Amino acid sequence: MLKTFKYFTAILAISFLLTACSQKRVIEKPTIFEAKQDSIVELSKQANDKSFNQEEQKDEYFSKYFRPWKQSKLSYSEIEAKWGFSYKNKKVYLENHNQATKEWFDKKIDNANFDNYNKDIKKAITLKNTNVRVLPTNSPMFYNPSLPGEGFPFDYNQNSLLKINTPLIVSHFSKDRAWAFVESHFVGGWVEINSIAFVDDNFIQDFTTNDYFIATKEKFAIYDPIFREYVKVGTIFPKKDNNFIVAKKDDNLNAKISYIQIEDEFVEQMPLAYTYENRARVLKEFMDEPYGWAGLLNNRDCSSFTQDYFSVFGKYLHRNSKAQTTNGKYYDISQLNLDEKKEFIRKNAIPFSTLVYLKGHIMLYIGIENNEPLVVHNVWSVKLKDKDDKEFRYIIGKTAITTLEPAKEQEGFTQDSNILKKVLGITIL
């Protein structure tokens, strides 16, 4: 009997201990949600269909889009254009995880040929979706890959991604002639020479039809007559005589007009009407897209998601998160506490027309559900800590709908993990 009592007492003690441990952590509500189209539509109905003048915004968009063809030289100073050389002074790791040597950098910098900056001016156009590199090489540049939040996909040699049909101005070429240093309407850097073709006044005249359609579906194939590219939402196609224009090259890399067919379901006249149905329908195309730092692997990061989303409606946004805060009326909420930030956003933010900004990240506010402000963003991860106080990452790695405190329900979430704590302001477009 005594033995049985001791056994029972031990079971109770263990049960109490487990119960006590389980009560140390409050179970939070989910903060990352499945993108249900019905819910997105209902949230979209909260928005203001007249948030901005679409015709005025469209004119501004195309003025900027075609600006490289009207420039006489690149707009950056030589010092600004060479900003990537500063990586030589940092610990950078290559694709084999070995540290890049001084000799490696010297070779890339020499090949960059900046003695010829702005001295070999040509106008050009992209023939495919095109990586823009910081240095003229396809080698990645990582910070220490063994650290949380570094290594793949954070290739710091990836500056951005250009879509097919993007107008360019060329400054000069690398010494090996394999790369061209270019400027588009939103980014500058190195592109592979086989990804562009050179345009003349006749090509520009034929290409600028003033009847422009924009891709509203993601990653559909186009053919000319063979496969050309998987097209991304936000890609622009001039239209003429019921055909769409893409550039193709001759043997000397000169651009020629080519006419292709695209089904109506994939492209629509720009700008698409800013209605609740269209806002929800277009947003669906971005959901669950894998995270792509600076357009790596033809995917989007936070600011390319917001940029491409609004392009469909004729609204021009800059490329990086900080710059996008200047595309509308900015409100600084950095001094508010967490509850005050939420309340400010509830009262002042306009669904589907407000960007929520923190250093290095931008999110699209889409409305309120169960009194929680919700955002859509393409996000890599949230910082967490294990039981030994060691930092690690909770990977989201895609475009997702979340609260302003994603991963709050996860073990290891701390105040330092909290995105809301880091929110600096909102921009109403």
**pLDDT digit string (tens) for 285-341?**
999 999 999 999 999 999 999 999 999 999 999 999 999 999 999 999 999 999 999
For residues 167-173, average pLDDT: 99
Any domain includes 315? yes
The pair phi, psi for residue 241, each rounded to 5°, is 55, 45
10 Å Cβ neighbour count for 91? 10
Query: Rounded mean pLDDT of 71-100?
Result: 98
What are 178-227's pLDDT values in tens digits?
A: 999 999 999 999 999 999 999 999 999 999 999 999 999 999 999 999 99
Among 251, 269, 287, the domain-final residue is 269
Q: Where a domain ends, among 249, 269, 289? A: 269
Please work out, in degrees rounded to the nearest 5, the angle formed at the alpha carbon of residue 335 by the alpha carbons of 333 and 336.
Answer: 70
pLDDT at 25 over 80: no
**SS3 category, 351:** coil
- pLDDT at 85 > cutoff 70: yes
- Are 264 and 178 in a shared domain? yes
Q: What is the CATH number of the domain that holds 365?
A: 3.90.1720.10
Tokens of 218: 């993601």
Q: Give the C-alpha distances (Å, rounded to integers) separating 310 from 6, 33, 56.
A: 69, 22, 14
225-284 per-position pLDDT tens digit: 999 999 999 999 999 999 999 999 999 999 999 999 999 999 999 999 999 999 999 999
Please give the pLDDT value at position 38.
Answer: 86
Cα separation, 196 vs 194, in Å, equals 6
Chain mean pLDDT for the chain: 93
Residue 189 to residues 48, 82, 167, 173, 179, Cα–Cα distance (Å): 37, 9, 14, 11, 10
Bridge partners, 407 (sequence order): none
Of 269, 301, 326, the position where a domain reaches its end is 269
Q: Does 416 or 358 have the greater pLDDT score?
A: 358
Model confidence over 37-73: pLDDT tens digits?
A: 888 999 999 899 998 899 999 999 999 999 999 999 9
Whether 20 maps to a domain, the answer reads no
Is the domain of 286 the same as that of 242? no
Residue (of 73, 68, 258) closest to 172 by Cα position? 73
Cis, bond preceding 271 (omega within 30 deg of 0): yes
Q: Are residues 94 and 48 in the same domain?
A: no
- Pair 130, 248 in one domain: yes
Q: Does a cis peptide bond (omega within 30 degrees of 0) precede residue 225?
A: yes
For residue 58, give Cα distances in angstroms to 52, 74, 316. Answer: 11, 24, 8
Structural domain boundaries enclosing 261 = 55-269
Angle at which helices 276-286 and 302-311 pack, to 10 degrees? 140
pLDDT at 24 over 70: no
Whether residues 37 and 111 fall in one domain: no
* Structure tokens belonging to residue 174: 């690398």
Residue 401 domain-assigned? Answer: yes
For residue 29, name the pLDDT band (cuts at 50, 70, 90): confident
Q: Which of 227, 264, 233, 265 is nearest to 246 (CA)?
A: 227
* CA gap 191, 167 in Å, rounded: 13
Q: Is residue 376 part of a domain?
A: yes
Angle at CA of residue 273, ends 269 and 278, nearest 5° = 100
Tokens, residue 414: 């701390």
Which of 14, 2, 18, 30 shows the shortest CA–CA distance to 374? 30
Q: For residue 28, name the pLDDT band (cuts at 50, 70, 90).
A: low
